[in-house]
Chain A
Amino acid sequence: MNASQSTTSSTKTPSTVRIKVKRQDRPDTDPYWQPFDVPFVANANIISCLQQIASKPVTADGRRVAPVAWDCNCLEEVCGACTMVINGVARQSCSTLLHELVSDGTGTTDEPIVLEPMSKFPVLRDLFVDRSRMFNNLKAIKGWVPIDGTTSLGSGPKEDQASQDMRYALSRCMTCGCCLEACPQFTFDNDFVGAQVIGQALYFNMHETGAELKDDRLEAMEAPGGIADCGNAQNCVKVCPKELPLTEAIASVGRQTTVHAIKSFFTGK
């Protein structure tokens, strides 16, 4: 692909790129760093760099090592599995292109590309993390529409366009964890749930049938670690690769919990 090389014609295109990977052999061992050099291919993504490393797992100083492990699935930024911290920022390694990183501002750069696993989730191995916390939180807020039963429920209720637009935007969440990695209130071991599940609570509360479980969701949202622990740093909305309207979702669920709490103060048990 020589044509692609000419896109950065005014600057020197490096023939290899140094990639520094934060590695960890087991969940309970200490992390360490290893540098790798991979051939520069314009338009390559980070996953293909990792594939290069996997096919020839030799460090920049010539040592043969175990290949770097990572997680991925869709390769088109819809599953969220490949999320890692790339040059300090959480994003998907399938949709992060190499030339965006090396021609950043200065043209070519001698700075290595730094890959780390997300810091807010337990590392299984190398860049592969366990994202169960997000899925467990989805269970806690009952992130589903209750339609199980033995009889036909008939056709669903009609939905207006505005609500559909909002819900479509919220439905794009791929549980990647970027919003949580960037959130100063969400830490490795506290119980804050973060923007991801707040967005999904709104998504299901806005669904006409899903709203049957609204009170349960709001109670989960009012529990320790719920929405009240958001500090409004609004990093989540800026890093979300699927551009969910997270701050609007947080404010909406904030309003729902306010109303719910006042109602249950006066009418609850």
Chain B
Amino acid sequence: MCIRVYVPSHAGPAIVSQPEPKSPDIGFMDRHHFLLRRLHSLSGIVPVGVFVIMHLFTNAQMMWGQDETGESTFQHEVDFIHATPALLFVEIALWGAIAFHAGLGVLYMTGIVPNVMKYRNLDNWRYTLQRVTAWVALVFIFVHIATLRWRWSMFGWFTPFYARVDAETGWTHGGEAMALPLTAYALQYSWLVVVFYAVGVLSVVFHWANGLWTAAITWGVTISKGAQRRWGFMCAGLGVALTAFFLAAMVGALKYDLDSDMTERQQKALDKVVPTWRGDAPDSSNE
């Protein structure tokens, strides 16, 4: 049953009636309005949010560097993930969830009137930032997946990610441990990349932590002010932890010296997948 909540007035003292409300899409979207809104909320938590925790935790291992054979804890975790059965389907489900969350999110943002300049308070800033970071995160996640995972070359920035590469044949399903050097190479390409990642990841972290906080209200988990405040501390704690993971990953990737830290075989493997790395990396490419 669909009860339209708002009925324009044709009775009473009204001289002019409120314009007919605009719904994003009469039909399917309206009939399943509540369900879609709740699925939108849920998809941000599981699988997208939970994946972000795992992803940032894995990346934080880059801080520990690599041993003399090129192996590292980071590599170990990447190998573990790559050994997941039917990984491609897991990935497609994840991309689908991100697209679903982003698509509905963009639709739900149409027409809203942020007013933080008039009603200046912390909660209203949170509300506004949640929507700003949504856009930043959308662009960031797209570029991130397109360059590293789909191995697109964007603006001459070619930074494909492979877990392992064979030093002799360039075969990308085994061989040298390349997770750390390839990530380091991507980030050290230019300081702009570092800024892009910092802004992008921090936006994702804020959007996730704040989204978790508001989801608890939306679903009716935290009702009292005290409950909302206590849950707020927990979400803030999650945000701080994820920021720390990100910083650890950043330090790990930036302190990795491509010229001296790679083994000879890693260098040869890198030659196979990114032949231009010596000329391009690092810093000389800022122009």
Which of A137, A185, A238, A247 contacts B119, CB < 8 Å? A238
Q: Confirm or deny: A34 has a beta carbon within 8 angstroms of a beta carbon on chain B.
A: no
Q: How far is the CB of A53 from chain B (nearest CB, A)?
A: 23
Stretch at the interface among B142-150, B176-184, B222-230, B253-261: B222-230
In angstroms, Cα B218 to Cα A261, docked, is 13
Which of B12, B121, B214, B224 contacts A238, CB < 8 Å? B121
Q: How far is the CB of A168 from chain B (nearest CB, A)?
A: 17
In angstroms, Cα B38 to Cα A146, docked, is 31
Residues 196-253 of B contacting A (Cβ, < 8 Å): 214, 217-225, 228
Which of B7, B34, B108 contacts A222, CB < 8 Å? B34
Which applies to chain B's interface (DSSP): helix, strand, loop or mixed? loop
Q: How far is the CB of B236 from chain A (nearest CB, A)?
A: 16
Q: Confirm or deny: A243 has a beta carbon within 8 angstroms of a beta carbon on chain B.
A: no
Residues of A within 8 A of B217 (CB): 232, 247, 250-251, 254
Would A224 and B119 count as touching, CB distance under 8 A?
A: no
Q: How far is the CB of A230 from chain B (nearest CB, A)?
A: 7
Would B123 and A261 count as touching, CB distance under 8 A?
A: no
Chain B 75-117 near chain A by CB (<8 Å), digits 1 or 0 = 0000000000000000000000000000000001001111100
Q: How far is the CB of A251 from chain B (nearest CB, A)?
A: 4
Residues of B within 8 A of A259 (CB): 220
In angstroms, Cα B22 to Cα A220, docked, is 17
Residues of A within 8 A of B220 (CB): 251-259
Q: Count A/B pairs, Cβ under 8 Å.
A: 175
Residues of A within 8 A of B119 (CB): 89, 182, 235, 238-239
Residues of A within 8 A of B115 (CB): 182, 184, 235
Task: Contacts A27-B16, A234-B124 given; indicate if A184 touches B1 (C-beta within 8 A).
Answer: no
Query: Interface residue count for B (Cβ, 8 Å)?
Result: 54
- A residues with CB within 8 A of B: 27-28, 88-89, 121-122, 124, 130, 132-133, 135-137, 139-141, 182, 184-185, 187-191, 193, 197, 216, 219-226, 228-235, 238-239, 245, 247-248, 250-259, 261
List 6 A-B pairs, Cβ < 8 Å: A130-B16, A133-B9, A224-B5, A233-B124, A235-B115, A256-B220
- B residues with CB within 8 A of A: 1-9, 12-23, 29-30, 33-35, 37-38, 108, 111-115, 118-119, 121, 123-124, 126-128, 130, 214, 217-225, 228
